[in-house]
Amino acid sequence: MLGIPESVMPHVRRFGFSGVIAVAVVVVMIFGINPITVLTGQVAEPLPHTTLTALEAIAAGEDGPEALVDAVSREANGFWERAFRSAAVHYPPVTLKMVPTKAELGCGMAGSDVGTFYCPDDSTVYVDMATYADLVASFPAEGHKAEGYLIGLAYGHHVQAALDQFEALESLDAAERAVREQQLGAQAACYSGAWTKWAGLEILLDDPAIVRAIDSVSTGRDVTTAPSRTPIPRALTPPSAAFRAHGYGLGYAIPAAGSCRMENIGHPI
């Protein structure tokens, strides 16, 4: 009457209906079947990529760079939303836009060779997908992780903007401003390190090849004259490699915003 096959009935009598269902759920999950599909007959939507699964899918040829951009954006933004909420501090919304070429970049940066950057004017992370493709072409083994770092860095700049870290720059003299800009760069690297650890990635800046990939799209760029109401972080004086690594290591060691306070960042090295 219940439609249960006779071969299954001994197991039902032994373990009960709930026991049999539990075993069945485990079995279908082992074989890669979503138990929701089995129980309801409805096909569930696949879970979104994490940064790690996006990297795996790209390596296997099952997905493209957009999957990584989406995963890093979702995870980095979620990380900072939770951090601000736990500190009872408002976290302003941030948007990520993937554009096909530098001609479509916003924030007054159209045509600039800036790649991935954060625009304080519209609280948007811009990712130039053509530059991303060039990065992977030049560094096939490291390009995707380097891009992940750059997106994490851009979200770090959003955190700085949310905490009004750029406001005091205009009141500093040239020497003081250069020091402060380098400190801000190291702090943003610290924020990217915190996200990297939380996402389950290795210490990216420990790999010289990944560092070279990051630097290939982080230096010598035409980003110094873009019009903006507030400074564009990628146009600021960058920290030295050692100072950047110092900041990144602080965030990776203890992935929390407090690890990246300026007193921990210290003086440029």
H-run or E-run covering 95: strand 95-99
pLDDT of residue 114: 86
Token couple for 180: 């402060």
pTM of the full structure: 0.81
Q: Domain ranges for the chain, please list them.
A: 1-46, 51-265
Provide the pairing of β-strand 116-119 with 95-99. Answer: unpaired
Ranges of residues in the chain with a pLDDT under 50 are: 1, 8, 11-12, 20, 22-23, 25-29, 220-221, 224-227
Pairing of strands 124-128, 116-119: antiparallel
What pLDDT is attached to residue 125? Answer: 97
pLDDT of residue 26: 46
pLDDT score recorded for residue 13: 55
63/66 Cα distance (integer angstroms): 8
Note the pLDDT of residue 12. Answer: 47
Helix and strand element counts for the chain (H, E): 10, 3
**pLDDT of amino acid 220:** 43
Kind and range of the H or E element at 241?
helix 241-253
Three-state DSSP at 17 gives helix
What is residue 235's predicted lDDT score, i.e. its pLDDT?
Answer: 85
